[in-house]
Amino acid sequence: MPEQSIRHTMGRGRLFDSILDTVGDTPVIRINNLAPRGVRLYVKAEFFNPAASVKDRLALNIIEAAERDGTLQPGQTVVEATSGNTGIGLAMVCAQKGYPLVVTMAESFSVERRRLMRMLGAKVVLTPRALKGTGMYMKAVELADAHGWFLARQFETAANADIHEATTAREIIGDFAGDRLDYVVTGYGTGGTVTGLSRVLRRERPETKIILSEPTNAALVSSGVAQERGPDGAPAASHPAFEPHPIQGWTPDFIPFVLQEALDNGGYDELIPVSGADGIAWAKELASREGILTGISGGASLAVAMRIAERAAEGSVILAMLPDTGERYLTTLLFEGINEDMNEEERALSLSTPGYQMG
C-alpha cells in the first residue's frame, strides 16, 4: 500500500463579506462503494450551501432580483409558502439583509424545518394538512394582499430558473469540462433546477441526457393532465394526480409554472418515477456506505441514478442532484428505526469491559 501523507488545506484565497457570498460552488463527489462497475456515478452535494439546501440559490436571487427591480422596498416584510428549504434559505437571506419574513407551511412537514426558520428570525404560519401545498400557497397570497407584503412566488418567478442557469448549470459545465457527462438526474420541487440546467445543457452539452423524476404516487407530469392555472401562472387548484408522499421538497400538489418551461420546451429526455420507500432506502445506503448524509429527495435522485447506472453503457458518467441534508429529516420516516438508546449489540459492547457503564 503506498505511503500516504497528511491532508493539507490552504484556504479559499478570499475573505467573504457576508454569509450570502458563500451560496453556490457546491462540490461534485464521486460515489465509490455503491456505483456499479464500469460507470462513474457522481452527486452534486447542495447541502454545502450555507443553509444546507439547493433552495439557498433561489432564495438569494428572488430577494436580490426584487431589490434590483424595486418590487421589494427596504424593511418590507417578505412572505412565502414553502415545504421548508426555501423558507430556511429565505430566512437566512432576510436575516442578513434586514427584511422581516413570514413563512406559510403545511403542518405535515417536518418540525425541525419550522424550528430552523424560527431560529433564523422568521415567523411560521401553519396551514391544515388536508389543504396540502395549495392551502399554504393561498394563505401566503392572502397575507401578502392583506398586509402589502412582498410575495416571493418561488413557483412562478423567473428569478428561480435564472439562478440555476447562471450558477448550478455553469458549475456543472465547469466541473465536467473535458470529461464526458452522459446523464443528469433531478426531481422537481419548484422546477427551477431542471429548467435552469436544461437551458445550458441543451446548448453546450447536447449529448447529456436529462432525467426527470417524480414520486410514483404523485406522478403529476406523467399523468398528462394539464395544471389548472390562474392568469399569473399560479395554481388555481390541486392537481388531480397528486397523493401525499414522503419526498419532502419534491412535487407539491400542483405543477409549478417554473417547471412548465422545461415541459413545453423538451427540457428533459426521460421521466422516471420513484417511490418514497426507494428514496428512503437509498438515502440510508448513501449515508452508511459512502458517508454522505442527504434527505429523502437526495435518496430518490440516487435511486433513479442507480437504475440508469445498471443499464448504461460501459464508461458512462452520471450525475445526481442531492438537494439537501439528512439532518432536515430527523422526525421523518428517514430516521425511523434509528434509536436514541443503545441497541442490544451496543449494550453488549458496553458490557464487554468492566468500567464506565450506563446504569
pLDDT at 110: 83
Pairing of strands 270-274, 317-322: unpaired
The secondary structure element, H or E, covering residue 210 is strand 209-215
Q: What is the DSSP track for 245-271?
A: -S-TTS--SS--HHHHHHHHTT--SEE
Catalytic residue of the set 44, 55, 139, 209: 55
The secondary structure element, H or E, covering residue 274 is strand 270-274
Reply yes or no on domain 19-48+168-335 having CATH 3.40.50.150. Answer: no
pLDDT at 247: 96
Going by C-alpha positions, the residue among 22, 169, 15, 45 that lies closest to residue 93 is 22
As a whole number of angstroms, the distance between CA 116 and CA 119 comes to: 5
Catalytic residue of the set 83, 110, 198, 297: 297
Torsion of CA 256, 204, 57, 160, to 10 degrees: -30
Grid coordinates representing 276? 418514497
pLDDT by residue (tens digit) across 244-294?
Answer: 999 999 999 999 999 999 999 999 999 999 999 999 999 999 999 999 999
In this predicted structure, the answer to whether residue 1 has a pLDDT above a threshold of 60 is: no
Residues of the chain with CATH 3.40.50.1100: 19-48+168-335, 55-151
Going by C-alpha positions, the residue among 294, 291, 289 that lies closest to residue 332 is 294
pLDDT by residue (tens digit) across 303-329?
Answer: 999 999 999 999 999 999 999 999 999
pLDDT at 4: 83
As a whole number of angstroms, the distance between CA 236 and CA 138 comes to: 9
Single-letter residue type at 224? G
pLDDT by residue (tens digit) across 92-121?
Answer: 999 999 999 999 999 988 899 999 999 999
pLDDT by residue (tens digit) across 179-195?
Answer: 999 999 999 999 999 99
Pairing of strands 270-274, 40-45: unpaired
pLDDT at 200: 98
- High-pLDDT (> 70) share of the chain, %: 99
CATH class for domain 55-151?
Answer: alpha beta
Average pLDDT, the chain: 96
In the residue annotation, 297 being an active-site residue is answered as yes
